[in-house]
Chain A
Amino acid sequence: MANLLELAAQIEADRARFAALAGPINSAKGQAEIVAGAIERLGLVRSAGHARRAVGQVEEAQSILAALDGTLVKAHWAVMSAVHGRIGPGAKGSGAIVPLTQFDERTGAPKAGLDAVPPHLREAPKPTGDDLLEPPRRRKGKALFQEAVGKADQVEDATKTFGQQFDSAWEAFFGEPSPAKAQQNAVSETQSSRGPVSTEMPAPKVSGGGAVMATFVASVVVAKAIQPIVRQFERKHLRDKED
């Protein structure tokens, strides 16, 4: 096995050496093209022809190099498949092998016509009609329930995000954890200690500035929440007035 892995490494190293040749060969081709153009401009037809032939031959060399790279990649895959079993595009279950030719089970001869197409390509998915038989009212109720569950999840996420943002804003402003976080920390510390708890639970320290900030944030949240209710009330009041 070790020999096979060393062999794979050796092949990869050879491939890398050839790949490193691609740059210099391309550079030589570029130089040859420039020189051939210059010779053509000088009007030296015969020399220019030879130079152009040199350019073409270097291009052919580039094609050979590309084929060489592919061959070494195949050799590497072959060794790796000897190490790991059958791997790569030829392996079973890789998705690359699709039996495009169907064979008759009795005679063993390849099938012709529509039978030659594999079933998974031949048969389109058939509608069962279950969705049509389901009563529409029940389906509507189910859909509404799913929608409500989805919205509940969204509200929960939004609450969590708001809580996290509030905590970080509090820490940035006052340089200490927010009251909710301080309480959480205190509780977790008490739970994690194994011995009997003899000390009192530290009360969260809330300064005057913190209280003002908390009040401000809470008022903004409450104002946002009651805004639609106030608008609705105003609309109703105006309508009553018009009547």
Chain B
Amino acid sequence: MASLDEVIASIAANSEAATEVQGQIEGTKAITEETLGQTQALSIEGAAAAVGVCKDQLEEASALAAALANKLNEARASAEAAKQG
């Protein structure tokens, strides 16, 4: 049977992974901003609008990733509280 320590370790690992992937989303967002600048400079309005939508979605994704990591940290804190009684 799984122990509380195992639960804490598992949740912590997931939280770290979520933070890591959030960093990657930030990197993708930076590429998107660069591409948006290029499309705007070339006056490709349709593509620029679509890339702008993509940037907004990535910002939302980044915020959600941060929320995911926070929620997992809260879960880990609750598990640690359960261990302490």
Q: Which residue of A lies closest to B79 (CB)?
A: A54
- Chain A residues with Cβ below 8 Å from B41 are none
Interface range on chain A: under 10, 10 to 19, 20 to 34, or 35 or more?
35 or more
Set A13, A21, A54: member contacting B75, Cβ < 8 A: A54
Flag if A61 contacts B2 (CB, 8 Å): no
Q: Give the distance in Å from the alpha carbon of A242 to the alpha carbon of B67 in the complex.
A: 97
Is A135 in the interface zone, CB < 8 Å from B?
Answer: no
CB distance from B1 to the nearest CB of A (A): 6
Interface range on chain B: under 10, 10 to 19, 20 to 34, or 35 or more?
35 or more
Is B32 in the interface zone, CB < 8 Å from A?
Answer: yes
CB distance from A11 to the nearest CB of B (A): 6
Flag if A64 contacts B82 (CB, 8 Å): no
Is A14 in the interface zone, CB < 8 Å from B?
Answer: yes
Is A82 in the interface zone, CB < 8 Å from B?
Answer: yes
CB-CB contacts below 8 Å: A63-83 with B: 64-65, 67-68, 71-72, 74-76, 78-79, 81-83
Set B11, B60, B78: member contacting A50, Cβ < 8 A: B78
Set A10, A21, A53, A82: member contacting B51, Cβ < 8 A: A82
Q: Which residue of B lies closest to A65 (CB)?
A: B68
Is chain B's binding surface mostly helix, strand, loop or mixed? helix
Is A137 in the interface zone, CB < 8 Å from B?
Answer: no
Contact A75 to B85, CB < 8 A, known contacts A21-B18, A35-B3: no
Is A32 in the interface zone, CB < 8 Å from B?
Answer: yes
Flag if B28 contacts A10 (CB, 8 Å): yes
Is chain A's binding surface mostly helix, strand, loop or mixed? helix
Interchain residue pairs A-B with the least CB separation, the first 6: A82-B50, A50-B82, A75-B57, A57-B75, A54-B78, A78-B54
Contact A68 to B7, CB < 8 A, known contacts A79-B51, A82-B47: no
29 contacts between A and B (CB under 8 A): A7-B54, A10-B28, A11-B54, A14-B25, A14-B61, A17-B21, A18-B21, A18-B65, A21-B17, A28-B75, A31-B6, A31-B7, A32-B7, A32-B75, A39-B82, A47-B82, A48-B82, A50-B78, A54-B82, A57-B75, A61-B75, A64-B64, A74-B57, A75-B57, A79-B54, A82-B39, A82-B46, A82-B47, A82-B54
Flag if A61 contacts B71 (CB, 8 Å): yes
Contact A68 to B68, CB < 8 A, known contacts A21-B17, A47-B85: yes
- A-B CB contacts (within 8 Å), total count: 150
- Chain B residues with Cβ below 8 Å from A54 are 7, 11, 75-76, 78-79, 82
CB-CB contacts below 8 Å: B63-85 with A: 64-65, 67-68, 71-72, 74-76, 78-79, 81-83, 85
Q: Which residue of A lies closest to B58 (CB)?
A: A75
Flag if A61 contacts B10 (CB, 8 Å): no
Q: Give the distance in Å from the alpha carbon of A13 to the alpha carbon of B53 in the complex.
A: 19
Is A108 in the interface zone, CB < 8 Å from B?
Answer: no
Q: Which residue of A lies closest to B67 (CB)?
A: A64
Is A60 in the interface zone, CB < 8 Å from B?
Answer: yes
CB distance from B19 to the nearest CB of A (A): 11
Flag if A14 contacts B64 (CB, 8 Å): no
Q: Give the distance in Å from the alpha carbon of A46 to the alpha carbon of B10 in the complex.
A: 22
Contact A72 to B57, CB < 8 A, known contacts A32-B7, A32-B11, A35-B7: yes
